[in-house]
Amino acid sequence: MKKLLLSTLYIAIGATFSYGQYCESGGPSQTIDSNLEWLTLNGATGSINYTGCPGVTGVVHYTSQMAYLNAGSSYTVNLQFGTCGGNYSGVGAVWIDFNQDQSFDASEVIGTWQGLPPTAASVFNFNVPAGSTNGQTRMRVMQYEGGSLPLNPCASFVWGSVTDFDIYIQNGVDCSSYIGDNMNDPREVTSLPFTENYSSAFCYTNQNTVYPSPDVFYLVHIPAGVSSIKASLCGSTFDTFLTALNPDGTVITINDDSPTCGTQSEIEISTIGIDSVFLVVEGWGTASGDYTLSINEGTLGFDDIQTIDAKVFPNPATNVISIESGEYTHYKISDLKGSAILEGDFNDNITVDISELSNGTYIINVSTENGSEILKFVKR
Ligand SMILES: [Ca+2]
Ligand SMILES: [Ca+2]
Ligand SMILES: [Ca+2]
C-alpha cells in the first residue's frame, strides 16, 4: 500500500531497531481504594492464588506462582475486582498474551467487568486458542476506577491496579525452531542467488520495524566481489514491506511497493565496504503470510557508486581516534540512536578527542565531493 505516513517513514529512517516488550510504565499513581482483591487460576498443573491489598502503584509483576495451561483447553479465572479502601465504581479487564508478542491485544481479552465494589466475584471462563505459542507468557489484570471499556492495557490512571501473572502454555505451536524472530537469531544467507519460500504467519512477532505486523530477520553475508544486492518479495501472497539495516540496526533503505510487482517490495543497495546486511520482511499494517524472498547480485557496479576510502583507528579506542580520508571531508559522529555528538571538517585526516564519551559503539558519517561512507568505532 502506498499510504505509508510520512511520520512513520521518518521514524523508520531515523530509528534504530528495538525489541518489543510488555508496557510496564502505566498503572495507578495512588495505592488507596479500587484494587484487585484476589485472584485464583487452576492450571493443568500449577495454580495462582493471589491476594491484592494493600495497593501498589504502577504495574505489579507477580512471579511467585505460575499456571500451566494447555492450548485448546478451557480454564476459569476467579477474581474480585474490589478495593483496599473506599468503594468507587470502575471497570476491569483480563488479557492473556496467547501469541507471546509482548502485546495484550483486543483479541486476547478473556473477560471484562464494570460495577461498584463490592460486587460478586468475577468468573471468567476462557479457552486457550489451539494456535497459541508454547512457552512462558503473561496474563494482565487491570482495574481502572472511573474508567470505561474497552481498556487500554498500557493505560496510566490514578486509582486501581495493574497486575501481571506468569502463564506457561503447552501443547500449542512450538516456535523453538523458528529462526529469524529478531536480529540476534537471524536466518543466515551465505551465498547468492538465494530464494526462500517461507511464512511470517506463525511464531514470528513484531519487533517494531515500521509496522505492527510480524517481522522475519535475514542476515545476508555479502560474498567477496559483490558490489550490490537486489532483494525482492515479488510473488508473495500479501502486501509486504522490506527494510535493509546495517548490522548496528540503522536503516539503510526501505521499500513498500516495488514498481515491478505491485504491493510487494524490492530493494537494491550498494554493498561496497559492507560485510553483511540485515533484511527485515514484514507486512503492511498487520499483514502476514506466505512470501518468496529472492536475493541476487545487483546491477550496481563499482563504477556506478562514487565512494571514498576513509578509515578510523585505533578501534576500539579510549582517548582519541584518527579519521583519515586523504581529501577534504565533513564528518559527523553519532551514537547508535542517531544523536549527533561531534561534527566538523578536516583535510586529509583528523585526530578527535573521545575521552569524554561513554563506552559503546559510535557511527561516523564521512562525506567528501567523491561520496560518503559510514564508519564505526567502539569506545572503551
Ligand atoms: Ca499478544
Ligand atoms: Ca513489524
Ligand atoms: Ca507493500
pLDDT digits (tens, 9 = 90+) for 312-338: 999 899 999 999 988 888 888 887 766
Tell which wins on pLDDT, 224 or 230.
Answer: 230
Q: State the pLDDT at residue 76.
A: 98
Q: Starting from the CA of residue 236, give the closest ligand.
A: 3
Q: State the pLDDT at residue 350.
A: 94
Mean pLDDT of the chain: 89
**CATH 2.60.120.380 location in the chain:** 187-304
The Cα–Cα gap between 269 and 282 comes to 18
Q: Starting from the CA of residue 167, give the closest ligand.
A: 1
Q: pLDDT-based confidence at 222, cuts 50/70/90?
A: very high
Q: Starting from the CA of residue 101, give the closest ligand.
A: 1
pTM exceeds cut of 0.75:
no
**CATH 2.60.40.2950 location in the chain:** 26-170
CA–centroid distance, 20 to ligand 1, in Å, is 11
pLDDT over threshold 90, residue 299 = no
Q: Starting from the CA of residue 284, give the closest ligand.
A: 3
**CATH 2.60.40.3080 location in the chain:** 311-379
Q: Which of 202-216, 226-240, 329-343 has the highest mean pLDDT?
A: 226-240
CA–centroid distance, 120 to ligand 1, in Å, is 29
The secondary structure element, H or E, covering residue 107 is none
- How do 109-115 and 59-70 pair as beta strands? unpaired
- How do 74-83 and 122-127 pair as beta strands? antiparallel
233 — alpha (psi -120 to 50), left (phi > 0) or beta?
Answer: alpha
CA–centroid distance, 284 to ligand 2, in Å, is 8
Asked if residues 69 and 128 have their Cβ atoms less than 8 Å apart, the reply is yes
C-alpha grid cell, residue 81: 475486582
CA–centroid distance, 287 to ligand 3, in Å, is 10
CA–centroid distance, 363 to ligand 1, in Å, is 35
Report the CATH number of the 26-170 domain. Answer: 2.60.40.2950
CA–centroid distance, 283 to ligand 2, in Å, is 7
Report the CATH number of the 311-379 domain. Answer: 2.60.40.3080
At the topology level of CATH, where does 187-304 sit? Jelly Rolls (2.60.120)
pLDDT, tens digit, 9 for 90 and up, residues 105-162 = 999 999 999 999 988 999 999 999 998 999 999 999 999 999 999 999 999 999 999 9
Q: Starting from the CA of residue 205, give the closest ligand.
A: 2
pLDDT over threshold 90, residue 249 = no
Q: pLDDT-based confidence at 169, cuts 50/70/90?
A: very high
Asked if residues 50 and 165 have their Cβ atoms less than 8 Å apart, the reply is yes
